[in-house]
């Protein structure tokens, strides 16, 4: 099925609205959206690092602050 959008005629706002509609639709049935196989290996490695005490978690505010400081 091909749904061609007139991307060259759409404003940024129109494109963002279309993306939001697609995202909302995909979120209605997340189990039907396949996860790439490499996701499992990455998540397993991260979990292992947390369990070994080599990694941890940050709250979102602290993470944003750290990222902002690192890109200046």
* Domain membership flag for residue 20: yes
Contacts for 5 with CB less than 8 Å, ≥ 6 apart: 18
* Domain membership flag for residue 2: no
pLDDT at 72: 83
* Domain membership flag for residue 55: yes
Contacts for 7 with CB less than 8 Å, ≥ 6 apart: 15
pLDDT at 24: 97
* Domain membership flag for residue 1: no
Give how many domains the chain has, as a whole number.
1
2-50 pLDDT, tens digit per residue, is 778 899 999 999 999 999 999 999 999 999 999 999 999 999 999 999 9
Residue ranges making up the domain that contains 64: 8-70
* Domain membership flag for residue 64: yes
Residue 58 pLDDT greater than 80, yes or no: yes
* Domain membership flag for residue 3: no
pLDDT at 66: 94
């Amino acid at each position: 099925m091909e749904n061609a959008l007139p991307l060259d005629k759409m404003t940024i706002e129109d494109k963002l609205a279309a993306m939001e509609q697609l995202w909302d639709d995909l979120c209605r049935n997340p189990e039907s959206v396949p996860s790439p196989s490499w996701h499992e290996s990455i998540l397993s490695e991260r979990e292992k690092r947390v369990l070994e005490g080599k990694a941890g978690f940050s709250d979102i505010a602290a993470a944003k602050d750290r990222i902002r400081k690192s890109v200046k």
